[in-house]
Structure formats: structure tokens, C-alpha cells
Copies of this chain bind each other. A is one copy, B any other.
Amino acid sequence: MLTIGKLGQAAGVKVPTIRYYEQIGLLPEAERSAGNQRLYSRKALDRLTFVRHARELGFTLDAIRDLLSLSDHPDQPCAAADAIAKAQLAEIEKRLARLASLKVELKRMVAQCAGGSIADCRVIEVLGNHSLCAAEHGPRESEGDS
């Protein structure tokens, strides 16, 4: 049995984050020691590692909740898990495309800065005048990265 700190270290997740996951029902309530401290089994570590890894891959907590409940029923077909992963892949590809076009535009902007005064600064100018953009950004979607 691990205390929350050891668990966090082992899984690479911060302690408050573990408590947060429990609070929102992503992890089951932990057993408690005589002194009311959380105790975790090896299985709990696996589960948390799964969560961390999925988070690293950009899955939302909701998607992870679904994946966890799927992995709790290993006899069912894996089409649902596959679908979640595919949706995630599509999301990431969308973001990649968007970031790539932002990068092009930013590069252009930065490259054109001749080091003069603000009045002649392309950075400021391009930001103020959309018609100077290279790329079309397409419709708005969520786009608030990070």
C-alpha cells in the first residue's frame, strides 16, 4: 500500500491532482489508514498511470472516463475505445494543421521586422490589418490552445 505521495511519484502525477481526480470521480475513493490518510494499491497505480498517459496524449478527462469504464469491461468489443482514440487523433490533426499555418504567418511576420521603430513594425502592422495575412484560419472552432 502506497501513500498518496509515493503514488504520485510512481505515476508522475502531483498529489493535489490525484485528490482532484478522486473528487471528480475519475478515480474511486481511496482506502484510508487509521489516521485517515489515503492508501493505494498496485491496481490504483496502474489506473493512475493510465490516466496520466492518456492526458499526455491529450485526451480530455471525459474521454478518459470513458476509456476507463471500457477497460473495466474487457469482454466487450473494442470498437468504442478505437472510436475514442480515432476522434482524439482527428482532433490532434486539426490542431496540428492550425498550428502549422500559424507558424507560417508568425515566421513571415518576424522575418519582416527590419528592426526599425514601432511605426514601421511589421509585427504590429500585420496584427492590425488582416489583409496582410498569408493564411486563412478557417472558421473559429475552439482554437484556444494551451
Which residues from chain A sit less than 8 Å from chain B, CB to CB?
12, 46, 49-50, 53-54, 56-58, 67, 70-71, 73-79, 81-82, 84-86, 88-89, 91-93, 95-96, 99-100, 102-103, 105-107, 109-110, 113, 115-121, 123-124, 126-128, 130, 133, 137, 140, 142-146
Main secondary structure of the interface of A (DSSP, over half): helix
Number of this chain's copies in the complex: 2
> Contacts of A53 on B, CB cut-off 8 Å?
126-128, 130, 133
Q: Which residues of B contact A78 (CB under 8 A)?
A: 113, 115-118, 120-121, 123-124
Contacting pair B50 A128 (CB below 8 A): yes
Return chain B residues, CB-CB under 8 Å to A113: 78, 81-82, 85
CB distance A117 to B57 under 8 Å? no
